[in-house]
Amino acid sequence: MAKISTQSRKDLFIHIGIVVSLILVFFLGFFFIYLPFTTNHGEAITVPDLRKKNLSELEEFLDSRDLRFEVDSTYVPNLPPLTVIQQYPKPGAKVKEGRKIYVTVVSLTAPLIKMPKLTDMTHRSAQMQLKSLGLEEGTISYVPDMAQNAVLRQMYKGVEILPGQPIAKGSKIDLELGEGLGSAQFELPSVIGMPLDEAKIQIVGAGLKVGQVMQVAMEEGQIPGSVVKQNPESGNKVRIGDVIDLWVIPAGVEPNAPNEDNTQP
């Protein structure tokens, strides 16, 4: 067996260098050749884009790429059920084989929530409330009312729905709003012959205003305290908030007695 000479300091350093080099080669070979070969270290898989795919496609699709997945669900209106809408890691990310991909799909059924109270809200506030609860605004209609753009009624499929009633997320809620002093016109009702108090109630109830009330002399057949004339006259087109003037017989006026023959014999 050959002997290595270590008689000189130079020989000793050479031998130590050889030993260190062998150890270094072994170390580098273990971590950069042996481990990657046995553990697939450094082999990366590009995460595919799973969005818009159906849940039924995922298992076969990811198995072929040595990936796994875990599912969560949430409701999103107007999207097909079981459609992937989110994923993590994101498409294009590099992962090891066997990595689990977390996906969120659209649930099969919409959850039920309590219908909010939208009446007396402004249209804008009602829109924000619907959006925050996952409901949609349906048909908007206007009716004569002084509360312009205020919600007067809330309806679902043509039927008024009360606050607190259960309703599915994503449902469309129809709103009936007040038109205020808008362009909507309607026929003025007649208050002729009514007592003044009753005529005022009729006018205010129609969304109109009582203007001047003027007294006139009573004629035959008229009743004290009653309305004998109005302006505009009944049948004319008026808008919400228009002013109606009235002419009335003063209360307490005695009707004229019939003429008597005062001729003396």
pTM of the model: 0.46
pLDDT exceeds cutoff 80 at 263: no
**CA–CA distance, 146 with 29 (Å, rounded to integer):** 87
Q: What are the pLDDT digits (tens) for 14-37?
A: 777 787 777 887 777 666 666 555
CA angle 157, 162, 166 (to 5 degrees): 75
User: Tokens 């009707």 belong to which residue?
Assistant: 255
Q: What are the pLDDT digits (tens) for 79-100?
A: 889 999 999 999 998 988 889 9
pLDDT exceeds cutoff 90 at 175: yes
Q: What are the pLDDT digits (tens) for 200-257?
A: 999 988 878 899 999 998 888 888 889 999 999 988 988 877 889 999 998 876 655 4
Q: What is the mean pLDDT of residues 128-152?
A: 89
Q: Bridge partners of 140?
A: 175
Q: What are the pLDDT digits (tens) for 104-133?
A: 999 888 889 999 999 989 999 999 999 999
pLDDT grade, residue 5 (50/70/90)?
low
pLDDT grade, residue 1 (50/70/90)?
very low
Q: Tokens for 116?
A: 């909010």
**CA–CA distance, 51 with 48 (Å, rounded to integer):** 9
Q: Which of 6-20, 84-98, 169-183 has the lowest mean pLDDT?
A: 6-20
Q: DSSP letter string over the chain?
A: ------SSHHHHHHHHHHHHHHHHHHHHHIIIIIHHHHH-TT--EEPP--TT-BHHHHHHHHHTTT-EEEEEEE--TTS-TTBEEEEESPTT-EE-TTPEEEEEEE-SSPPEEEPP--TTSBHHHHHHHHHHTT-EEEEEEEE--SSTTBEEEEEETTEE--TT-EEETT-EEEEEEE--SSS-EEEPPP-TTSBHHHHHHHHHHTT-EEEEEEE----TT--TTBEEEEESPTTSEEETT-EEEEEEPPTTPPPPPPP------
Model pLDDT, residue 183: 61
Model pLDDT, residue 26: 77
